[in-house]
Structure 1
């Protein structure tokens, strides 16, 4: 996917409309001995990431009487949450009274191929009905049934209709609601800030270091409690559903460098339906066509007009698990039954025109702007890197990472989703686990934390980072960071994509070493406010996380969920383990860890063998 200049990306939610309370919290303007100027900002809790997870943590903190500072890389209110279009899961039973939280948990574990953290799954499923009603109370305009109940739709691999929605702009509506609530609580935020390093000695975190992306000025954030909520790393891939300046591994690399562990970095979800085709243009390549299209009855056809999912999943059809549908599309293309652009067709035109426009307004509008009427003709789609199940290893009741003072939440972490994420669960995790972590962090704040002081050692640590950033901004080599990032995306798509094998993964690691060597001769085209400098900072974290992905994918010699090894196509019982990755003496090391077991009520739900009956949609 081509990388775009700042300001040209799609922004679904205007920041000016979402507002908030912006405050200048700088304690002092500082100047280092060598003339580098920077600001010091103090706060009891620093939340890095302004999407749904970060917002829900901040709301819980504020409701408990602790005022955090939320920072984000983009304008406030313009976070990746807005791109989660199709819906959010909650076992309300609005349409299917048999559904309950235990079945939701069972579906999540089955979709995750039982590598999930069972406690994390149960916390999410059990608390989600309360969280969706809370969002409703805060003003989220959820779609309604004729009886006035919160409406629910099918999503892939779900036994019942449990996905609540606001047309096909659910994430946008959720974030608007959360930010409105944050505004009521007067939670301060700071936008357009990029964090480059956590202030850590490997045992404890005491703040973060970064810069203002609009001015280039250095920023030292001093805090005894830091919550990382900065997303995943699917945008490392050449074809992905994110924007280029998000989901590139910031959260995972920052936490790993600070002394935390990563978990299951090999599991990347490839959504079956990303846009593909010359008629859409390079800007839209890989962008998500929401699962809501298939949830409302959309059908997949190959270039020969065959509804090919009948061969792969005759019972669940297009609403089988995302990894199953993505691999089916990849096989159709590989065997010559795909389109000229390497895709297939997704068709919703058999449904009533008004129904499609009512349930999928954003999809209708987007494709109409590109000259396609989805009520009358199909969309061309192909798999796209969409979500990362792997991430920071945490305790889900507290958010603790094992590094004192450091917490993580949302797509930044691993555990809820296992080897593959159930559609509709990403938004659910943000608000359920986000609330719990926010409440725990609030309880950990002591009076001294509210006005942290900056020690000389911390100041010196920050000034070294600022000097390194200054040196980076002056780099005048022959390789641009944009070019290396594009090659990294191609490398991962080719060697760690939907289908993997040992030879390809090893070649990917060799090519990664070559890319890393070229970073010694970077060229930055612009100052510290430029896109080029931002990509240079991204590059350092992206290479770290890409190595973690490739190494864990090589280590796992089986196929499970989103990780498919053509040289090890079977799921192995003895591989029902998590892969824990840490830095030891400067090198990445991997160890195996056993997976816990679910509670008795969830085990009973698993034994019942609930399963989606797709033909309700026919």
Structure 2
């Protein structure tokens, strides 16, 4: 069997052919459904499966970190749903229109409608399950403005919405007795070429191999923005696991060139390297925060006089980058974000985590501004899936930031958490129905035959005495993407990035790796995922010869109507990356009416 880590499709290293490891030498877990990823998307899928009648003991949710320690907790500002708490004229069609406009109309309209239709009921469901939403004086779920939203649509729990949501979902899952394993790093999917059979994994606490034999696998493993030098994720999250696992299994990727750079990441030169790029939630601007350059100018008046700081994220991020590039940035390489015109009590109530964080760093947000600069924050691209989240590989599903389609060229703030629970519900219902109809399974022994070969590869990786440090190569990859495939791109730089990735891949064939409990072993696996995903990002960006949303080609500065289509990346017959394009759909009549109505935020309603 060809090594799943071979270099042909962009993975980092190729290992010697060893005899397959015997099933007696690894733990085997049999489940009907394996959910990879324990954030909001994975948790909501598992909950839905049980509510649809699947027995909890037939499920397993795995996470590569501790229980409840998923990247969902870092989504702070809010979650969208057209409740109409403050603006009763809002509805799901306007939410869909805002999402399509923000995505520059390369979203999948059907997936957009799936999310926007479901969200009001799903927010109320979370409320019933005990989520600590912030409230209006009348006791309703409160909602705030977010960038590019026509109405106040973003429900929130202070500035810790993701944390509160995940706590609620984890508690619900525990009430339903859904099994979970933590610190289990999934290294590969097991397939028979047409369908998924399960996954191979390593217990990072013990170093033991674990094979999960499953009828259905759901990938909810996050995105890929920590592959950039400056990013809002933890370094061990959003490393491209989900898209890379699906691609290796034979699924296609879509829209990988669209990477969102959030306008307001912390300035590391001001607050310390460990804080560099850490997100300053959009809620600060949603509650009235203002951006100033080093000359004291409220510079968004030049770039977006109507929507100001609450214009689309790509617009605000490029404005900040331009101010810094033209010499009007701070000494720390950022700009100022100031909400000190608000009352202290208001700031501490609406932005408790932000005010506490900066207070610990010696900054009083009620008295002075904070320093921010753009940071890689969200991958709009991901795995190609159908209307219920299934990939082209039978019985393999992908949801949350691992999937593509909802966000198009730029994500509407507040839609990431919305997507996780909306498609968690949709996919959970679809998988439950699939299980009820019966899942075709291969002959006995097929899982172990393939899993044993994959474990042999992993065994040869650990303890290698090579010349190159996998963490150092990861850092080099991050620098290359930030430099050549960041906020501004051009063909020459993207071509340089491909050359640099090829060089990293060549050196990654000779890694120095500790045992399976050592972080270097994880870094080596991360590097394999990263090289696949980084190449897909760069090839997609080279293919798209226009500027649209978060993708800006400086030599093609205009949006080209002929490019209103998606870039598809897939493995070809010889294992190299295939680059194609695919058309996008059209909105429903109801959503088109909302688009034609031209709803738009006027920032000055806040003043």
Which residue number corresponds to residue 459 of structure 1? 448
Which has the higher mean CA deviation after the structures are superposed, 144-153 or 415-424? 144-153
> 2:66, 2:182 within 8 Å by CA — same for their partners in 1?
yes
Give matches, 1:205-604, under 5 Å.
Answer: 205-396=196-387, 398-446=388-436, 455-524=444-513, 526-584=514-572, 585-604=574-593
Which residue number corresponds to residue 26 of structure 1? none
For 2:424 and 2:214, locate their aligned partners in 1 and report how far apart those are by CA, in whole Å.
19
**Deviation, structure 1 residue 69:** 0.7
Give matches, 1:95-134, under 5 Å.
Answer: 95-134=86-125
**Deviation, structure 1 residue 616:** 1.4
Against the structure 1 CA distance between its residues 447 and 91, is the aligned structure 2 distance closer, same or farther, given a 3 Å change threshold?
A: closer
Alignment gaps of 5+ in structure 1: 1-30
**Deviation, structure 1 residue 457:** 3.4
For 2:176 and 2:270, locate their aligned partners in 1 and report how far apart those are by CA, in whole Å.
46
Number of aligned residue pairs: 585
* TM-score, with length taken from structure 2: 0.95
> 1:201, 1:258 within 8 Å by CA — same for their partners in 2?
no
For 1:432 and 1:465, locate their aligned partners in 2 and report how far apart those are by CA, in whole Å.
34
**Deviation, structure 1 residue 449:** 5.8
3-state DSSP class of the match of 2:409?
Answer: coil
3-state DSSP class of the match of 1:223?
Answer: strand
For 1:50 and 1:230, locate their aligned partners in 2 and report how far apart those are by CA, in whole Å.
8
Which residue number corresponds to residue 15 of structure 1? none
3-state DSSP class of the match of 2:493?
Answer: helix
Which residue number corresponds to residue 594 of structure 2? 605
Alignment gaps of 5+ in structure 2: 1-18
Deviations 1:443-491 (A, max 9, x none): 10148769x8983332121112111111111211121011000011100
> 1:223, 1:449 within 8 Å by CA — same for their partners in 2?
no
Deviations 1:135-155 (A, max 9, x none): 000000111111111110000
3-state DSSP class of the match of 1:445?
Answer: helix
For 1:405 and 1:447, locate their aligned partners in 2 and report how far apart those are by CA, in whole Å.
12
For 1:254 and 1:381, locate their aligned partners in 2 and report how far apart those are by CA, in whole Å.
34
For 2:427 and 2:368, locate their aligned partners in 1 and report how far apart those are by CA, in whole Å.
46
3-state DSSP class of the match of 1:567?
Answer: coil
For 1:550 and 1:184, locate their aligned partners in 2 and report how far apart those are by CA, in whole Å.
44
> 1:224, 1:449 within 8 Å by CA — same for their partners in 2?
yes
> 2:228, 2:478 within 8 Å by CA — same for their partners in 1?
yes
* TM-score, with length taken from structure 1: 0.93
> 1:279, 1:370 within 8 Å by CA — same for their partners in 2?
no
3-state DSSP class of the match of 2:556?
Answer: coil
> 1:81, 1:171 within 8 Å by CA — same for their partners in 2?
yes
**Deviation, structure 1 residue 277:** 3.6
**Deviation, structure 1 residue 341:** 2.2
